[in-house]
Amino acid sequence: LASVTFQVLTILGATGSIGTSTLDVVARHPDRYRIHALTGFSRMDRLAELADQFQPQVLVVPDDTARRQLLHHLGHQRTNCEILIGPDALCEVASCPEVTTVMASIVGAAGLAPTMAAVRAGKRVLLANKEALVMSGALFMREARTHGATVLPIDSEHNAVFQSLPPGFDYGLRECGVSKLLLTASGGPFRTLPIEELQSVTPERAVAHPNWVMGRKISVDSATMMNKGLEVIEAHWLFGIPGDQIEVVIHPQSVIHSMVQYVDGSVIAQLGNPDMRTPIAHALAYPDRIDAGVKPLDFSTLAGLTFEPPNLQRFPCLGLAYQALDAGGLTPAVLNAANEVSVAAFLGREIAFTDISRTVEGVLESCNPPDDRTIESVVEADLRARHSARRIIEQNRMSAA
């Protein structure tokens, strides 16, 4: 891949944790990046601030109410940019000709359509929105190849694997002598909590991650380790490696961001402070290297690095994700949808933390998803799994009452 020295960006989900970190890196390199569009779903005050700082051509918001709020916060500088509304506008700014690079950092299934639009327009796609790839796996990768899109991983583990593979690994990991991918996981806030206390943990405790500051949904996913499960599926598609060659290693310090094991016994790892600006800067500038504003690792103060295998009794979601990958077809889309509904119900205090995996398991048992040939079938499997998850949550509520 040739070095691209000037890029025009659309940032999907600019107001979120990844969006904000991306803009932090962009602001350090005005000579390399210009912003075409920023999108936000809530926090219009924040979107207005970002618009003021980065002067994009276009802003995308969900509806008319959000648009009015945005105009209010924009004040005097409202005439400078166009404001578009709704999901179609997300796809439009992800695929329009003047854009070279799309940061896909909307959370969850809502990011699928615009991310796919960027892929189909052959953009350089910086993929944070792992749910989109988990849902549409084979289709996503096929469309990327067909339309010449470059997909660069933002998820720190996949970015670490990418950095630990030889250039041009696309021709096959087996041919490169890779025997295994080792995805590291912090184990989240409940790694050592007595298992019987898990059922009563609050959303506040679940979102308080020990090493990373992230959006609420992915923070809960880290606490259940569904996040690592989604990442196993993500790695399968990004790197074309079977699930049984992807191993999860708990490494509570989050200094090693993942590793690649080779047939000769070598293990190559990527290390750094846990700061998402590192993978973001790597993918933005690839194959160049740019300053990300991240403190260098200090080995004189670094305490011990420790490792342990994940306990699937404590983290049943991780096992469910491996099962979904194994089942193939659209089962990962079902897993993802059931998880999104369950996490939202947990955050809304409707269900207990331990009901997240129970609900996902129930949905996986009852759903028989169609084949994965089109985006429509992906969306249908997603919707059906959402209904099924809601039904299970309602039934449990009624039987508890």
**Which residues are documented as binding site for 1-deoxy-D-xylulose 5-phosphate?**
130, 156-157, 186, 209, 222, 227-228, 231
By the 10 Å C-beta count (0-12 exposed, 13-18 middle, 19+ buried), 266 is classed as: exposed
The gap from C-alpha 267 to its chain's centroid, in whole angstroms, comes to 25
Binding partner of residue 110 among ligand NAD, Mg ion, none, CB cut-off 5 to 8 Å per kind: ligand NAD
CB of 321 to Mg ion, least distance (A): 13
Phi, psi of 151 (to 5 degrees): -100, 120
Are the CB atoms for 377 and 370 separated by under 8 Å?
yes
Is 233 or 362 the residue whose CB approaches ligand NAD more closely? 233
106 binds ligand NAD, rule: CB under 6 A = yes
CB of 98 to ligand NAD, least distance (A): 21
Please report how many Cα atoms fall inside a 13 Å half-sphere around the Cα of residue 396, on the Cβ side: 17
Is 15 or 362 the residue whose CB approaches ligand NAD more closely? 15
Distances (CA, A) of 260 to 141, 181, 270, 272: 21, 5, 9, 16
Binding partner of residue 107 among Mg ion, ligand NAD, none, CB cut-off 5 to 8 Å per kind: ligand NAD
CB of 250 to Mg ion, least distance (A): 13
**Cβ-based neighbours of 222, under 8 Å, separated by 6 or more:** 186, 188, 189, 209, 212, 214, 228
57 binds ligand NAD, rule: CB under 6 A = no
Residues that bind Mg ion in the complex, under the rule CB under 5 A: 155-157
Of 24-32, 34-42, 313-321, 365-373: span binding ligand NAD (CB under 6 A): 34-42
69 binds ligand NAD, rule: CB under 6 A = no
> x/- binding map, residues 202-231, to ligand NAD, per CB under 6 A?
----------x-xx--x-------------
What is the per-residue DSSP string for 175-224?
A: TTTEEEEEEEE---TTSSS-GGGGGG--HHHHH--SS----HHHHHHHHH
Residues 150-209 that bind ligand NAD (CB under 6 A): 155
CB of 295 to Mg ion, least distance (A): 20
Binding partner of residue 17 among ligand NAD, Mg ion, none, CB cut-off 5 to 8 Å per kind: ligand NAD
CB of 183 to Mg ion, least distance (A): 8
Q: How far apart are CA 174 and CA 263, in angstroms?
A: 9
Is 169 or 212 the residue whose CB approaches ligand NAD more closely? 212
**Secondary structure string (H, E, C) spanning 68-84:** HHHHHHHHHHHHHCEEE
By the 10 Å C-beta count (0-12 exposed, 13-18 middle, 19+ buried), 76 is classed as: exposed
Task: Provide the binding-site residues for ligand NAD, judged by CB under 6 A.
Answer: 13-19, 40-42, 105-107, 110, 128-131, 155, 212, 214-215, 218, 276
